[in-house]
A = this chain, B = another copy of it.
Amino acid sequence: MALWGGRFSEAGDQFFLKFNQSLSFDYKLFKSEIVASTAYAKELAKAGILNADEEARIVAALEGLGQKFNHDDMMTAIERGVEDVHSLVESELVKMVGDLGRKLHSGRSRNEQVATDLRIFLKEEIFNLKEAVTSLERQVIQQAEANLDAIMPGYTHLQRAQPIRWAHYLFSWIEGFERDKERLDDLMKRVDVMPLGSGAISGNVWGLDRERLRADLGFGAITRNSLDATSDRDFVVETMFCCSSVMLRLSRLAEDLILYTAKEFGFIELGDKVATGSSLMPQKKNPDSLELIRGKTGRVVGNLTALMMTVKGLPSCYNKDLQEDKEGLFDSLKQTLDCIQVMELVFGNMTPKPEVMLAACYQGYLNATELADYLVIKKLPFRHAHELVGKMVVFAIQQGKKLEDLSLAEFQSFFPDVENDVYTYLDVQKCVDRKTAVGGTAKSQVLAQLARYKKVLS
C-alpha cells in the first residue's frame, strides 16, 4: 500500500520502486515510529480529530504492533515492497483497526515523521556512543595505573624525543576522548528538538499544542519553523562529524599501537584474542584489530563527505536526495561503536613491556634537551646551549657514546662550566620528574591527572 495512489493513473515501474524504497534500511526506525505515532494519535485526540475511543484503539494497536512485529515480519515486508517504515506502520495499523487507521495521518507528513524518528533514534545512539567511550577510557586508565612508573621514549616526527611516562602517554588519549564526549553533549542539544507538528512544509493545520506533544515525547525543545523542521539535516551531518572525530583519534591510537607491537618497537604484546594469523606464513601474529580500526576511519569520514555532498546545493525544503542520509549515518554509528569496543578489547588484551620501553630511552640522546637546560642554568642563553648540545651529540655519535658516557673533560671541552652534577641532571628518571608544570610528565602531575579522571569518570 503506497500512501499516495490517487493522482496516479499508472503503477510505478518495479525496478524504480525497488530503487525508491527505503524500508530495507529505515526499518531501524520502527520503534521510534511507533513511539512518535502513538504520541501523535494522542495529540490528534486532544485536537478533536479522534475521539477517546478511537485514540485508545489506535494507541493499543500501535503498542501491540511494536511488540509483535519481529525480524521475519520485517524481512517479509521488505520483500513485499513496502515503501518505507512510515507506510509500513500505517498499513499494519489499518490491518488491525480498519478505516480508523486511515485517520492517523491527518495533518501529518512523512517529512516530519522521518525527522522526528531520526531524532528519537539518535538520542539513544549518542548516549550509547558516550557510554562506550567512557568504558574505553576506564580500560585505558587501568592500563596506566598498572604501570605508573613505566618510562618510555616520547616521539615527535617518529624520532625519539624525550622520555615520558607510559601513563602520561596513555592519558594524552583521555584528553581527546573527553573532548569527543563534550562534542557529543553539544550535538545532543541540537538533536533533542522535536519537529513533529510541522506538516509537510507549512505547519500543522489542526493547531496542535506542540509543547504538550514535546513533553509527551521527552524532547527538550521544539522546532520553530516548519520549513526548517522538515528538511534540516544539520544534526545528521554533525553526528557523522562527531563519529569522524572519534575515528580520527582511534586511527592515530591504532597507528601507535601497531608500531608498538611491531618487532622493532616491542613496547607491548598483543594477546591472541585480538590478533590473527596468516594463511601462508605460520609465524605471523597480526594486529588486525588495530588495522581495521585504522582502516575504517576512511569509511566513517567517507560517509560524512557523502552526506555533505548530497546536501550541497540542494533546493530548500524536502528533496528525495535526503533519503540518502540514513544508510551512511547508520553505518557510521555502527562502525564507530564497534571500533570503540574493539579498542577497549585491545586494551584489555595487551601486555606492556616496561623494560623494553626503558631500554629504548637510553638510545637516541633523549636527554639532550636536559643537557641544554643544564647549560641554561650555567648561564648560557638557551639558543647557544641548543647549538652547543647539537655539536656534542654529533661528537658522541662519532664516539659511539651516550651523552652521559662523555667524560667531564669532554663536556668541558665544549663548555668549561660543566661540573660533575651534570651526570645526575641527565638521569632519565630525573628528566621525567622535572616536568612538574601542569600537564607535564612528572609523577606528581600524572597522579594529579589520574585523580581528576577518576573523579570525572565515576
Interface stretch (choices A31-39, A63-71, A124-132, A307-315): A307-315
Q: Chain B contacts of A248 at CB under 8 A?
A: 237, 308, 311-312
Quick one: given A100-B381, A285-B159, A389-B282, are A164 and B294 in contact (CB under 8 Å)? no
Partner of A99, one of B211, B222, B321, B384: B384
A interface residues, tally (CB under 8 Å): 202
A427-442: which have CB < 8 Å to B? 431-432, 434-442
Interface residues of chain A: helix, strand, loop or mixed (majority): helix
B199-A280 in contact (CB<8A): yes
Q: By the criterion CB–CB under 8 Å, are B7 and A390 in contact?
A: yes
A174, A278, A387 pick with most chain B CB within 10 angstroms:
A278
Tell me the nearest residue of chain B to A431, going by C-beta: B202
Given contacts A102-B383, A317-B154, is CB(A161)–CB(B284) below 8 Å?
Answer: yes
A386 contacts which of B101, B282, B311, B388 (Cβ < 8 Å)? B282
Closest to A12 in B: B273
Copies of this protein in the assembly total 4
A391: chain B residues within 8 A (beta carbon): 6-7
**Is B19 a contact partner of A342 (Cβ separation < 8 A)?**
yes
Q: How far is the CB of A134 from chain B (nearest CB, A)?
A: 17
- Complex: A208 Cα to B399 Cα, angstroms: 36
Docked pose: A441 CA to B299 CA in angstroms = 34
| Minimum Cβ distance to chain B for residue A406 (Å) | 13
Contacts of A139 in B (CB 8 A): none
Asked whether A439 and B224 contact (CB < 8 A) given A255-B315, A273-B13, A305-B302, the answer is yes
Answer whether A318 and B381 are a contact pair too, CB < 8 Å, given A226-B440, A312-B312, A435-B199.
no
CB neighbours of A261 from chain B (8 A): 159
Inter-subunit contact B282/A372 (CB<8 Å): yes
- Which candidate, A115-123, A181-189, A415-423, is the interface stretch facing chain B? A181-189
A292 nearest CB neighbor, chain B only: B320
Known: A381-B102, A438-B211. A175 touches B223 (CB 8 A): yes
Give A253's nearest chain B residue, CB to CB: B316
Q: Does the CB pair B308–A309 fall under 8 Å?
A: yes
Residue of B105, B201, B308, B370 near A161 (CB, 8 A) is B201
Q: Are the C-beta atoms of B296 and A324 separated by less than 8 Å?
A: yes
A452: Cβ under 8 A from any B Cβ:
yes
The answer to whether A53 has its CB under 8 Å from any CB of chain B is no
Query: Given A288-B320, A438-B210, are A201 and B162 also a contact pair (CB < 8 Å)?
Result: yes
Most B C-beta atoms less than 10 A away, residue of A4, A245, A389: A4
A307 to B160, CA, bound (A): 25
For the A-B complex with A15-B341, A157-B284, A297-B312 known, give 17 more contacts whose Cβ atoms are closer than 8 Å: A2-B276, A8-B390, A10-B273, A175-B225, A186-B186, A200-B281, A208-B437, A225-B439, A237-B248, A241-B241, A252-B315, A259-B259, A263-B364, A291-B319, A297-B309, A297-B313, A302-B304
Contact between chains at B310 and A252 (CB < 8 Å):
no
